[in-house]
C-alpha cells in the first residue's frame, strides 16, 4: 500500500536488499520499487558481479531512475573474507550494467558500513524485516559475526544462493554467489543452524538456487511486452541496453537469446510465498578449495541428524513471476516516462563508474577475522 500524498509505501513487507548490482540485481531493484506490498527499508551493496565501487553506484543510479533516490544505499564488503576478489565483466559488462549508461547519481551513498546497516535495522525493528541477499554472503557473514542474534532479530532471510540438484554455473558444482565467498556462506548458514538448534521455532533460511531461478527465462518477447506496457522512456531504454548485453552472454554460453533473471525472481518470492514450494533440509557449504569447493551440500536423506536450517526452494512458478515482472516494471516505467515528459530535459551527468568525492573508503573486512572463520560459530 502507498500513501496517497507521498506515493511511498505506508505499510507492507519491510525489505532489506543486499546486492552486487549487475544486470539482474538492477531488475530486482526495479521490481521491488514497482511492488506495492514492498517497503524498501535500505539497500546494502558489496563485491560480486563488479567491484563494490561500481555496485553501490549502480544501485543508487538505478534507484534514482526508478524514483527512489530517498532509499539509503550503503557500501559494504569490498572483497571476500579470505579469498581474492573475483568479478564477472563477461556476464554483466565492465561496470555491471551491460551496455546501459546511467547518469552519475545525485544522491550520496550512506556514510554507514553495509553490515552495520543490516544489524542496526534488525535491532530497531526486531522480528519485522525480511533480508534478501542477491550476491555473495560477505556482508551477511560480517553482520552475523557482529551480532550473533541476527537470525532471531530478522523475520526472514531469503537468498539467491546455491545449486542443489543441478550443476553449478561457475564450476561444475558451485553457483556464483556461493563460489565468490564460500567461507561467508558457511558462517551465515552456520549461524542459522545454531539458531534452529537452540530453538526449533526459529525461522529457517530460504534458499533459491539455480534449480529454480534458471526456470525464469526473460526473452525478447517479454521485453517487447514490457515496452508496450511502458512506452518510450529512460527506464525502458535502460532495460533494453542492459538486457541486450545479458542476452548476448546467454546466447554464447547457455544456448538461448534471453536471460536467466535470478534476482528479481527471488524478490518476487520474498513478497509472495505462493510462488514457491520448499523442502526443509540442513545445508552446509564446501570451502575446501578442492573439486567440491563452493558446493551447497543439502542433507536430503537426513543422514547427519541435524535440524534443517534452510527451506530450499524446489518448485517455483516462473510463468506467473514473468507475467508479474512485465506488468509491474512496465507500469513503473510508464509512470516514470509520464513524469519525465512533464519536466524540462536536463543535460546528462557524468557516466557512472567514476569515484564519488568525500566519501568514506570502501572497507576490507578481512583483518577482523580469525584464521578460521568457522571457529567463531563453534
Strand-strand pairing, 310-316 and 205-208:
parallel
Q: CA-to-CA distance for 217 and 219, rounded, in angstroms?
A: 6
What cell does 148 get? Answer: 550473533
How many residues are listed for the chain in this entry?
Answer: 378
Distances, alpha carbon 103 to alpha carbons 144, 170, 340, in Å: 35, 32, 15
Vertex 20 angle, CA 170 and 322, to 5°: 80
- Crossing angle of the two packed helices 318-341 and 262-271, in degrees rounded to 10: 100
Q: Are 50 and 60 in contact (CB under 8 A)?
A: no
Quote the distance between the C-alpha of residue 360 and its chain's center: 23
Strand-strand pairing, 296-298 and 38-45:
unpaired
Is the Cα dihedral 370, 73, 10, 318 positive or negative?
Answer: negative
**Of 38, 45, 34, 41, which Cα lies nearest the Cα of 352?**
45
Q: Are 42 and 341 in contact (CB under 8 A)?
A: no
Q: Are 143 and 251 in contact (CB under 8 A)?
A: no
Q: CA-to-CA distance for 78 and 46, rounded, in angstroms?
A: 6
Q: CA-to-CA distance for 136 and 308, rounded, in angstroms?
A: 22
Q: What is the DSSP letter of 77?
A: B
275: left (phi over 0), alpha (psi -120 to 50) or beta: alpha
**Of 111, 3, 29, 115, which Cα lies nearest the Cα of 369?**
115
Q: Which residues are catalytic?
A: 262
What end-to-end distance do the CA atoms of the chain give, in Å? Answer: 43
If DSSP codes are grouped into helix, strand and coil, which group holds residue 351? strand
Amino acid at each position: 500500500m502507498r500513501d496517497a500524498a507521498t506515493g511511498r509505501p505506508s505499510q507492507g513487507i519491510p525489505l532489506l536488499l543486499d546486492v552486487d548490482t549487475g544486470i539482474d540485481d538492477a531488475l530486482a531493484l526495479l521490481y521491488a520499487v514497482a511492488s506495492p506490498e514492498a517497503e524498501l527499508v535500505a539497500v546494502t551493496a558489496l563485491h560480486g558481479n563488479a567491484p563494490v565501487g561500481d555496485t553501490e553506484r549502480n544501485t543508487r543510479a538505478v534507484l534514482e531512475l526508478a524514483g527512489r533516490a530517498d532509499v539509503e544505499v550503503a557500501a559494504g564488503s569490498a572483497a571476500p573474507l579470505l579469498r581474492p576478489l573475483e568479478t564477472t565483466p563477461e556476464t554483466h559488462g565492465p561496470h555491471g550494467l551491460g551496455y546501459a549508461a546511467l547518469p552519475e547519481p545525485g544522491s550520496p551513498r550512506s556514510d554507514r558500513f553495509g553490515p552495520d546497516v543490516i544489524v542496526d535495522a534488525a535491532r530497531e525493528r526486531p522480528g519485522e524485516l525480511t533480508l534478501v541477499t542477491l550476491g555473495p554472503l560477505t556482508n551477511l557473514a560480517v553482520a552475523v559475526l557482529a551480532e550473533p542474534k541476527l537470525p532471531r532479530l530478522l523475520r526472514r532471510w531469503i537468498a539467491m544462493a546455491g545449486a542443489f540438484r543441478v550443476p553449478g554455473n561457475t564450476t561444475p558444482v558451485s553457483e556464483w554467489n556461493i563460489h565468490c565467498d564460500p567461507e561467508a556462506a558457511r558462517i551465515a548458514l552456520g549461524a542459522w543452524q545454531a539458531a534452529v538448534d537452540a530453538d526449533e521455532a526459529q525461522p529457517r533460511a530460504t534458499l533459491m538456487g539455480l534449480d529454480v531461478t534458471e526456470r525464469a527465462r526473460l526473452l525478447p518477447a517479454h521485453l517487447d511486452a514490457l515496452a508496450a506496457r511502458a512506452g518510450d522512456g529512460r527506464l525502458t531504454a535502460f532495460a533494453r541496453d542492459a538486457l541486450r548485453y545479458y542476452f548476448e552472454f546467454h546466447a554464447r554460453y547457455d544456448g538461448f537469446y534471453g536471460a536467466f533473471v535470478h534476482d528479481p525472481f527471488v524478490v518476487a518470492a520474498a513478497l509472495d510465498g505462493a510462488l514457491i514450494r520448499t523442502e526443509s533440509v540442513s545445508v552446509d557449504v564446501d570451502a575446501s578449495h578442492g573439486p567440491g569447493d563452493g558446493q551447497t551440500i543439502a542433507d536430503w536423506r537426513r543422514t547427519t541428524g541435524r535440524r534443517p536450517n534452510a527451506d530450499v526452494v524446489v518448485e517455483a512458478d516462473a510463468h506467473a513471476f514473468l507475467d508479474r515482472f512485465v506488468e509491474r516494471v512496465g507500469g513503473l516505467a510508464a509512470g516514470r516516462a509520464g513524469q519525465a515528459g512533464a519536466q524540462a530535459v536536463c543535460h546528462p551527468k557524468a557516466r557512472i563508474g567514476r569515484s564519488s568525492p568525500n566519501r568514506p573508503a570502501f572497507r576490507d573486512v578481512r583483518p577482523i577475522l580469525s584464521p578460521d572463520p568457522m571457529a567463531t560459530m563453534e
